[in-house]
Amino acid sequence: MSKGLVRTCASCGAKNRIPARHLADAGVCGRCKVPLRPLAEPIDADETSFAEIVAGATVPVLVDFWAAWCAPCRAAAPGVKKVASDMAGKAVVLKVDTERHPALAAQYDVRGIPNFVVLKGGRVVSQRAGLVGPDELARWLEGVR
């Protein structure tokens, strides 16, 4: 059974479970019926949430493989957050801490960080290691069909 992502309604504080396939969709709070906007922030993903989101997303998924000790990763973080906000409804952005989830990094052959992967339908569309600006990340996502 799908667990989905729990989002808290800003209006009433209710916890709303959003299935992976609806993370880029607008919805309504189950309690107060106030609109819930599409997800507009990066998701810190573990193995379980990563698999669920990548398998269920109906939009491209940008994955930022990073680590806290990595200065370029920290420099990229504001841009990754901007892309998540700017691409809300059009893409989902995940952050994977390679120190906490090395198996995910190995699965995508991440040898240097930051490392950015764009997935669509569970398949790698593009991948690149190194610092990348938010405009370029957005172009990658917009170019996915």
Catalytic residues: 70, 73
For residues 50 and 16, what is the distance between their CA atoms, to the nearest angstrom? Answer: 19
For residues 96 and 66, is the Cβ–Cβ distance under 8 A?
yes
Kindly give the pairing relationship between strand 115-120 and strand 61-66: antiparallel
Question: Could you tell me where the beta strands, DSSP code E, fall in 60-145?
Answer: 61-66, 92-97, 115-120, 123-129
Least Cα distance to 65 among 57, 76, 78 occurs for 76
Place of tokens 């669920």: 52
